[in-house]
């Protein structure tokens, strides 16, 4: 897990510190499936900016996730560009002005990164935008073996049901 010790930087208000990090990305649970960052370590830039009233953190990196496609369960690869900010007030009376990722002077960068990626994910992770999915009748992969079944294909109610299911 990647952490950044804030005691390493002493900044006056208005100053900033830029740090190039090797960020370790934990595995993600999404929609009951497991997604893994490949590579597990990515280059990230952390910027720490002192303001008059606190400290601003900016984190930027790009993650590449591998995992099952929502429709066909084949391999899906997803690039997720991330740029997020957190703020910590110097005198945090207000919970709102505190970042949960700052613990005992250390910024929990990996945890922050994982949450940021989770929030940035699309509703469905697909192997390709037009993935045809699995056949509802026989379960075969429709990308590899496109086919229709007579009874299902001729009944317009099935199409309506498929469209509805895709929206859920």
CA 25, CA 118: separation in Å to the nearest integer? 12
* 90 vs 138, beta carbon nearer Zn ion: 138
Residue 147 Cβ vs Zn ion, minimum distance, rounded to whole Å:
6
Which residues, 6+ apart, have CB-to-CB distance to 85 below 8 Å?
Answer: 56, 57, 58, 59
Q: For residues 114 and 133, which CB has a smaller minimum distance to Zn ion in the complex?
A: 133
Which of 6, 23, 44, 69 lies at the binding interface for Zn ion (CB under 5 A)?
69
Q: Counting contacts by CB under 5 A, is residue 46 touching Zn ion?
A: no
Residues 94-153 that bind Zn ion (CB under 5 A): 127, 131, 135, 137-138
Please classify residue 76 by burial: count the beta carbons closer than 10 Å to its beta carbon, then call 0-12 exposed, 13-18 middle and 19+ buried.
buried
Chain center to CA of 72: 21
Q: Which residue's CB is nearer to Zn ion, number 37 or number 127?
A: 127
* CB 141 to Zn ion: min, Å: 8
The only residue of 21, 72, 78, 116 in contact with Zn ion, by rule CB under 5 A: 72
Distance CA 146, CA 139 (A): 12
Nearer to Zn ion, 105 or 122 (CB): 122
Could you tell me the two tokens for 53?
């009233």
Applying CB under 5 A, the span of 1-9, 73-81, 105-113, 117-125 interacting with Zn ion comes to 73-81
* CB of 26 or CB of 74, closer to Zn ion: 74
Question: Which of 144, 118, 120 minimizes the C-alpha distance to 131?
Answer: 144
Report residue 82 CA to chain centroid gap: 8
CB of 127 to Zn ion, least distance (A): 3
């Amino acid at each position: 897990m990647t952490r950044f010790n804030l005691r390493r930087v002493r900044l006056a208000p208005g100053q900033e510190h830029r740090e190039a990090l090797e960020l370790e990305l934990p595995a993600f649970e999404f929609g009951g499936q497991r997604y893994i960052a490949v590579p597990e370590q990515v280059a990230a830039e952390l910027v720490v900016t002192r303001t008059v009233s606190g400290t601003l953190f900016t984190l930027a990196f790009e993650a590449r996730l591998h995992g099952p496609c929502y429709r066909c369960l084949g391999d899906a690869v997803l690039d997720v560009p991330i740029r997020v900010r957190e703020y910590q007030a110097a005198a945090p009376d207000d919970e709102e002005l505190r970042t949960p990722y700052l613990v005992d002077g250390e910024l929990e960068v990996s945890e922050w990164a994982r949450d940021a990626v989770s929030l940035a994910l699309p509703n469905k992770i697909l192997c390709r935008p037009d993935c045809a999915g699995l056949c509802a009748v026989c379960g075969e992969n429709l990308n590899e073996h496109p086919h229709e079944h007579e009874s299902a294909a001729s009944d317009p109610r099935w199409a309506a049901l498929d469209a509805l299911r895709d929206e859920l």
